[in-house]
Amino acid sequence: MLRLEVRPQPSRAWSYASPVLALVVTVLIGIGLFMVLGKDPVRGLQVFFVEPVKSWYAVGELMVKATPLLIIGLGLAVCFRSNVWNIGAEGQFVIGAVCAGGVALMADKTTGPWILWAVLAAGVLGGMFWASLTAVLRDRFNANEILVSLMLVYVAVQVLNYLVYGPWKDPMGFNFPQTQTFEKAAQVPRLFTGSRVNMGLLLALAGVVAVWLYLFRTHSGFAQQVGGLAPAAARYAGFSSRRALWIALLLSGGMAGLAGALEVAGPIGQLTPHVPVGYGFAAIIVAFVGRLHPAGIVFSAVLMSMFYIGGELAQSRLGLPKAITGVFQGVLLFVLLACDTLIAYRVKWGSR
Partner 1 sequence: MDATALLIASSLNAGTVLAIAALGLLINEKAGIVNLGAEGLMLCGALAGFAAVVHVGATGWGFLAGAAAGAVLSLVFGWLVIWLNTNQYATGLALSLFGAGFSAFAGIPYTQAKLPDQGMSAVPFLSELPFIGPALFRQHPMAYFAVFLTLALIWFLYRTRAGLVLRSVGESPESAHALGYPVRRIRLLAVVVGGALCGLAGAYVSTVYTPLWVEGMIAGKGWIALALTTFATWRPARVLLGAYLFGGLTMVQFHLQGMGVNVPSQVLTMLPYLATVVVLVLISRNPLWIRTNMPQSIGKPFYPGS
Partner 2 sequence: MIDVRKRVWLKAAALSVVASAALLGCGKKEEAPAPAPTTEAPKAEPLKAAWIYVGPVGDAGWSFAHDLGRKAAEAHFGDQLQTTFVEAVPEGADAERVIRDLAQQGNKIIFATSFGYMEPMLKVAADFPDVKFEHATGYKTADNMRIYDASFYQDTYMAGIIAGSMTKTNTLGFVGSFPIPEVLRNINAYTLGALSVNPKVKVKVVWVNTWFDPPKESDAAQSLINQGADVLLQNTDSTAVLQTAEKNGKYAFGWDSDMSAFGPKAHLASAIADWGPYYIKAIEDVKNGTWQTTRTVWGVKEGLNDLIKINDVVPAEAKAKVEEVKAGLKAGTFEPFTGPIVDNSGKEVLAAGVQADQAWKDGINFFVKGVEGRVPSGK
Mark the segment that binds partner 2 (CB under 8 A) among 99-107, 122-130, 170-178, 252-260: 170-178
Should residue 49 be labelled a site residue for partner 2 when binding is judged by CB under 8 A? yes
Question: Residues in the site for partner 1, rule: CB under 8 A?
Answer: 4, 6, 85, 87, 137, 141-144, 146-148, 150-152, 154-155, 158-159, 161-162, 165-166, 281, 284-285, 288, 321-331, 333-334, 336-338, 340-341, 344-345
Instruction: Give the one entry of partner 2, partner 1, none that residue 202 binds, where binding means its C-beta sits below a cut-off of 5 to 8 angstroms depending on kind.
Output: none
Least separation in angstroms between CB 114 and partner 2? 25
Q: Would you count residue 180 as binding partner 2 (CB under 8 A)?
A: no
Sign of the Cα torsion 306, 311, 316, 318 reads positive
Is the CB of 83 or the CB of 270 nearer to partner 2?
Answer: 270
Partner in contact with 315, chosen from partner 2, partner 1, none, beta carbon below 5 to 8 Å by kind: partner 2
- As a whole number of angstroms, the distance between CA 257 and CA 269 comes to 16
Determine which residue in the list 181, 212, 333, 346 makes contact with partner 2, applying CB under 8 A. Answer: 181
Q: Which of residues 246-285 bind partner 2 (CB under 8 A)?
A: 263, 266-270, 272-275, 277
Among 89, 119, 255, 309, binds partner 2 (CB under 8 A): 309
In 3D space, the residue among 273, 92, 262 whose CA is nearest the CA of residue 166 turns out to be 273
Instruction: Identify which range of 73-81, 105-113, 160-168, 283-291 contacts partner 2 by CB under 8 A.
Output: 160-168
Q: How many residues does the chain have?
A: 352
Applying CB under 8 A, the span of 120-128, 141-149, 167-175, 184-192 interacting with partner 2 comes to 167-175
The option from partner 1, partner 2, none interacting with 181 (CB < 5 to 8 A, set by class) reads: partner 2
Question: Given the rule CB under 8 A, which residues bind partner 2?
Answer: 12-13, 16-17, 20, 42-43, 45-46, 49-50, 61, 64-65, 158, 161-163, 165-167, 169, 174-177, 181, 196, 263, 266-270, 272-275, 277, 308-309, 312-313, 315-316, 321-322
